[in-house]
């Protein structure tokens, strides 16, 4: 039995009562109705609408009452009406705060678990204060909408002022409707994109949109995107847009556009930052354009530090004769760090008879680097290449020669998957030893390295790793590592010990999140007990948004009997 005195109202009453009171001039009764509370001190009018899945009408009622209070204050200047305005502003802000903290994924969970009807989610989507939120919710909820609700979603989508958001929403809706509406929505999206003022932005969105059209129209839209890209006045922006648009064009136009993009990249004042774009474009370059790129890469005025990663990025895409040209270039590098990087990156693409020789050259170059930090950093990728190319003993020896414990731990943990069974136990032991560094400035790296080792550690070493992590002072780093180690402890047969370790975390937020990661690895009844502890820990979180987010994440994993109540709890705390 409900404690809400308004629960007996009909659907007609809910939709029209406040309007009738306003028309009749019964303003006092209208404000009293909106202030009425249940025995649990919740707003009775809101709860009634909420249970009916019609929060949008509730917000319209609040807006109506707010407008009446404003008018009354202008006439009477009474503080009562000023107080009412403040109250209605707070109610509206409170409803919006639910939209702020409930993500689109959570709203889907609310619908799938029948906590909220779809029309309820649509109401929140319509009310969301930011267009991006509205779009995110709409695109997530579309598969669950009825035909009538699709029309409401369409109206909300069309109301978005940003044409980019409007286009994205229309494309999503188009996927769930048949012809002729499908083509109509896509055409609307195209019309919206054409109103984007920035030619660079317009080119990017047109290129994204093109793939949703059938081939003849797709080609037209891609050409329109290219025209917009070439019209972009800022050279940096034009370069970025051309390298995005180019790969989707047909040859020979593709190569023409990619050549334009490459010329802009090479000439950029921010080349050090844009060099990665050359690597991204490499799979789409013709052999002649690859030759031009390698020739440009040879230009001596370009820093070897920038040339080395480009050279490595080109290696998988060039023909064999060009690979020899890259190898000669790498061997000519004067700076040891660049030479080591380039040679170790080329080794996997060379014939086996040559790869070991080149790796040895890379190792020699790395060991000759004068700066101690850079030298040890450069050895890490070389270590893994030795193992991958069939030289695990050498790889392990090189990794153990790295003096800095942090870098040694990182090299060893990356190496472990490539070690044979005969060497893996020793690799794990040495990695754990290196990762368990006592130095305070290594705490973050220590937590990360211990956590990354979790998949490889047998139970005795897992226990040592957990003990080491518990000594880390930083709570977030400690929790991050425990969230990866404790599920492995549970998998190895010590589930109760894993739960006890998680429960020992002081922070409610971290305790709840670590328990959440652990729960899928537990059997009943321990899993349900851990879930209860996680929910209790979440309720201790002081920040409302954090508390709601953790509860929503937990609720999705709960059994049917308690899931819905926890989902509701997460919304109204």
- DSSP code, position 418: G
> 489-515: buried (b, 16+ CB within 10 Å) or exposed (e) per residue?
bbbbebbebbbebbbebebbbbbbbbb
Residue 37 backbone phi and psi in degrees, to 5: -120, 155
Position 563 scores a pLDDT of: 55
Best CA proximity match to 465, nearest among 479, 486, 492: 486
- For residue 382, CA distances in Å to 28, 397, 414 come to 79, 12, 11
Task: Determine whether 205 is exposed, middle or buried from the number of CB atoms within 10 Å of its CB (0-12, 13-18, 19+).
Answer: buried
C-alpha triplet 279, 402, 424: angle, nearest 5°: 85
- Reduced to 3 states, what is the DSSP secondary structure of residue 95? helix
> 120-158: buried (b, 16+ CB within 10 Å) or exposed (e) per residue?
bbbbbbbbbeebebbbbbbbbbbeebeeebbebbbebbe
Position 1 scores a pLDDT of: 47
How large is the angle between the packed helices 235-245 and 271-281, nearest 10 degrees?
Answer: 20
SS (H, E, C) 320-342: HHHHHHHHHHHHHCCCHHHHHHH
- Reduced to 3 states, what is the DSSP secondary structure of residue 56? helix
CA distance 169 to 133: 12
Measured in whole angstroms, the distance separating CA 63 from the mean position of its chain's CA atoms is 36
Position 444 scores a pLDDT of: 59
pLDDT along the chain (573 residues), means of 10: 73 86 89 84 80 75 88 82 78 67 75 77 76 86 88 89 92 89 92 92 90 88 91 87 88 93 89 86 95 91 90 94 94 95 95 91 94 88 91 92 84 88 88 68 64 82 82 81 90 92 90 90 85 84 76 67 54 46
Best CA proximity match to 88, nearest among 34, 51, 37, 129: 34
Tokens representing 35 are 């202030």
Strands (E), 185-246: none
- DSSP code, position 319: -
Best CA proximity match to 172, nearest among 159, 196, 154: 154
Tokens representing 511 are 């305790």
**10 Å Cβ neighbour count for 105?**
14
**Residues near 127 by beta carbon (within 8 Å), at least 6 away in sequence:** 55, 56, 59, 95, 96, 99
Position 57 scores a pLDDT of: 81
- Reduced to 3 states, what is the DSSP secondary structure of residue 43? strand
Position 566 scores a pLDDT of: 55
DSSP letters along 107-166, please? HHHHHHTTSS-HHHHHHHHHH-SSHHHHHHHHHHHGGG--HHHHHHHHHHHHT-SSHHHH
CA distance 41 to 39: 5
CA distance 375 to 361: 14
Position 437 scores a pLDDT of: 60
CA distance 84 to 228: 52
């Amino acid at each position: 039995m409900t404690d809400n005195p308004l629960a007996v109202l009909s659907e007609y009453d809910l939709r029209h009562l406040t309007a009738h009171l306003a028309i009749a001039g019964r303003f006092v009764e209208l404000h009293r109705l909106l202030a009425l509370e249940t025995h649990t001190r919740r707003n009775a009018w809101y709860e009634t609408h909420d249970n009916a899945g019609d929060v949008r009408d509730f917000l319209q009622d609040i807006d109506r009452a707010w407008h009446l209070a404003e008018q009354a204050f202008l006439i009477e200047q009474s503080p009562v009406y000023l107080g009412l305005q403040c109250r209605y502003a707070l109610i509206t802000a409170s409803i919006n705060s639910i939209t702020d903290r409930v993500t689109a994924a959570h709203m889907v969970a609310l619908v799938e678990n029948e906590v909220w009807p779809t029309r309820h989610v649509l109401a929140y989507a319509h009310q969301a204060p930011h267009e991006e939120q509205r779009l995110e919710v709409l695109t997530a909820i579309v598969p669950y909408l009825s035909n009538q609700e699709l029309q409401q979603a369409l109206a909300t989508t069309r109301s978005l002022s940003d044409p980019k958001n409007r286009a994205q929403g229309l494309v999503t809706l188009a996927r769930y409707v048949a012809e002729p509406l499908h083509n109509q929505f896509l055409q609307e999206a195209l019309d919206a994109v054409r109103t984007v003022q920035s030619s660079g932005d317009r080119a990017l969105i047109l290129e994204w949109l093109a793939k949703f059209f059938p081939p003849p129209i797709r080609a037209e839209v891609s050409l329109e995107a290219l025209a917009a890209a070439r019209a972009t006045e800022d050279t940096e922006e034009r370069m970025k847009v051309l390298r995005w648009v180019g790969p989707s064009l047909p040859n020979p136009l593709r190569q023409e556009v990619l050549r334009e993009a490459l010329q802009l990249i090479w000439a950029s004042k921010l080349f050090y930052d844009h060099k990665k774009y050359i690597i991204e474009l490499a799979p789409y370059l013709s052999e002649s354009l690859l030759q031009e790129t390698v020739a440009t890469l040879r230009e001596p005025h370009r820093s070897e530090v920038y040339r080395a990663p480009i050279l490595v990025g080109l290696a998988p895409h060039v023909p064999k004769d060009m690979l020899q040209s890259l190898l000669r270039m790498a061997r000519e590098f004067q700076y040891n760090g660049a030479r080591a990087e380039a040679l170790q990156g080329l080794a996997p693409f060379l014939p086996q008879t040559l790869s070991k020789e080149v790796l040895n050259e890379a190792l020699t170059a790395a060991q000759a680097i004068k700066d101690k930090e850079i030298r040890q950093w450069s050895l890490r990728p070389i270590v893994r290449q030795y193992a991958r190319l069939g030289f695990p003993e050498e790889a392990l020896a090189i990794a153990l020669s790295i003096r800095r414990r942090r870098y040694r731990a990182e090299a060893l943990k990356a190496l472990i998957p490539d070690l044979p069974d005969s060497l893996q136990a020793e690799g794990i032991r040495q990695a754990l030893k290196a990762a368990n560094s006592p130095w305070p400035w290594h705490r973050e790296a220590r937590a990360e390295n211990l956590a990354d080792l979790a998949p490889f550690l047998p139970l005795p070493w897992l226990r040592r790793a957990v003990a080491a992590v518990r000594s880390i002072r930083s709570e977030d780093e400690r929790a991050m590592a425990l969230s990866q180690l404790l599920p492995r402890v549970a998998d190895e047969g010590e589930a109760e010990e894993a739960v006890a370790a998680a429960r020992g975390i002081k922070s409610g937020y971290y305790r709840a999140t670590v328990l959440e990661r652990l729960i899928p690895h537990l059997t009943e009844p321990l899993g349900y007990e851990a879930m209860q502890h996680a929910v209790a820990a979440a309720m201790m979180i002081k920040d409302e948004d954090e508390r709601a987010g953790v509860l929503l994440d937990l609720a999705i994993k709960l059994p049917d009997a308690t899931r819905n109540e926890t989902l509701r709890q997460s919304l109204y705390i």
